[in-house]
Amino acid sequence: MKTGFNGLFVPGPTNMPHSLRQAMDIPLEDHRAADFPAFTLDLFRDLKRIFKMETGQVFIFPGSGTGGWEAAITNTLSPGDTVLASVFGHFSHLWVDLCQRHGMDVDAIEVDWGEGVPVEQYAEKLAADKDHKIKAVLVSQNETATGVTSDVAAVRKAMDDAGHPALLMVDGVSSIASIDFRMDEWGVDLAVSGSQKGFMLPTGLAIVGVSDKALEAAKTATCRRCFFDFADMIKTNKDGFFPYTPVTTLLRGLRASMDLLFEEGLENVFARHNRLAEGVRRAVSAWGLELCAKAPKWYSDTVSAIMVPEGYDGADVLKNAYERYNLSLGGGLSKVAGKLFRIGHLGWQNELMLLQALAGAEMAMRDSGIMVEPGSGVAAAQEFYREALAPVSSKPTAVTSM
C-alpha cells in the first residue's frame, strides 16, 4: 500500500489544483439551457486572451491534442496538398504521420533529435517554392519528447521574407498557457493546445485557435470531416452553444483554470516556468549529466529530457522512481527510448515540488546504478531557487552548534 500523494512529474497530464477539481465537482447541467451562453461566450472570449489573438476564433472540441491536430489539418487542407514540416521528436513525427494518413504530400525535414525547427532550411524551401505549392508550414513549438522549444516568430519571418501565403500551423500542446505564445503577433493561422498541460486539467479538451485566414481556407478545403468540422462549430458557437454534447464539467474546470492564470498574470506564469526549468537544468549540470536539447537556444521551460550515461537504461530510472518512491517521471519515446528520462515542470508547480522530483530522481538513478552524488542536484536547484526568489534578507546568517 502506498501512502501520501503520487509525485506527478510527467509532462502531461499535470498536477491539478484543488480549486479546479472543486469547480468540476458539480451536478451535470443542461447544455441547451437559455442561460448556458452567459457562461460559454465569456469562455470563448477569454481563451483568445490566452492565445493572444484579437480576431479569428477559438474552438473547443472533446478530445486530446491529437484531435486538435486533426481538426486543424482536415478543415483547412485538401488531399494532395504539400505540407512543409520537420521531424525532431516523437510528437513532431506523429503530426507528420497524421498529415500523410489524410493524403497530404509532406516534405518532412529530418533533424537531429535534440534540435528544433530548422528555420534556415524552411526559409530555403519557401523561397524556392515560386508556385506556392506548399499550403501549410508545421511548427512544433515545444517537442515534449526531447525537451526542445522552437522559434515560431523566426518561422513567420522566413515566410514573410519569401512572400509565401502558406498557413502557419503550430503544435502548442505543451507550450500554450505555460510559455510565451503570441498568435496574432507571430501570424499563426492555427494553434493546437490541450487541457491536460498548461491548463492543469484532465485530458479531454482539444483547444484550437484559428485565424481569419484559416477560417477562409476552411471554406474550400476538401478533406472529409464531421466531428471536427469548423462549420458546425461556427453555426452554434456564435450563440454560445455546441453542435453536440460538450464536456460541461471540463468547461467549468477550464473557466477556473483561466481565472488562476489571469490572477497570476500570463507573464508571471511564463517567468515561473522559466525559473522552475532553470533549477532543473542546474541540477542536471550538478549531476554531471546532459540534456537531450543540444544547445541553450533549444531548452524547454516545460519539460527537461535528461540523458542517462551510456550503458544504462532510462526505463530502470522510471521503474525505480515509481515502484520505490511513488514518483512518476516521463520516459524516452521512439528513437530515445531507454536513453533518457523526463521531468515535466509545467502547470501547477512550485519550487518545493520540483525539489521533490529532483530528490526522487537522484535516488532512482542511484538505485539504477547511475551513481550521481547524493543531494548534488537538489542543492544546485535549492541555491538557484533561493536567489531567483529574492529572499527577504540576502545576508547569510551563521549557524552555530550548541
Residue 399, in any domain of the structure: no
Phi and psi at residue 89, in whole multiples of 5°?
Answer: 175, 175
- Report pLDDT digits (tens) over 354-399: 999 999 999 999 999 999 999 999 999 999 999 999 755 444 444 4
228 and 97, same structural domain? Answer: yes
Q: What is the pLDDT of residue 211?
A: 98
Q: What range does the domain containing 35 cover?
A: 19-24+31-263
Cell numbers given for 53:
489573438
Q: What percent of the chain has pLDDT over 90?
A: 96
* DSSP string for 143-157: ETTTTEE--HHHHHH
341 and 214, same structural domain? Answer: no
290 and 244, same structural domain? Answer: no
* Residue whose C-alpha cell reads 457562461 in the numeric block: 39
203 and 83, same structural domain? Answer: yes
pTM of the model: 0.95
CATH of the domain at 219: 3.40.640.10
Helix, coil or strand: residue 305: strand
Overall size of the chain counted in residues: 402
313 and 209, same structural domain? Answer: no
279 and 254, same structural domain? Answer: no
Average pLDDT, the chain: 96
Average pLDDT over residues 251-271: 98
Phi and psi at residue 303, in whole multiples of 5°?
Answer: -155, 135
Strand partners, 206: 61, 194
Average pLDDT over residues 178-188: 98
Residue 203 has pLDDT above 60, yes or no: yes
- Report pLDDT digits (tens) over 61-82: 999 999 999 999 999 999 999 9
CATH of the domain at 269: 3.90.1150.10
336 and 234, same structural domain? Answer: no
75 and 200, same structural domain? Answer: yes
Phi and psi at residue 113, in whole multiples of 5°?
Answer: -70, 120
Closest CA to 212 of 237, 184, 186: 184
282 and 147, same structural domain? Answer: no
Ranking 157-166, 227-236, 266-275, 386-395 by mean pLDDT, the lowest is 386-395
Q: What is the DSSP letter of 401?
A: -
Residue 400, in any domain of the structure: no
Q: What is the pLDDT of residue 2?
A: 81
Peptide bond into 13 cis (omega under 30): yes
211 and 87, same structural domain? Answer: yes
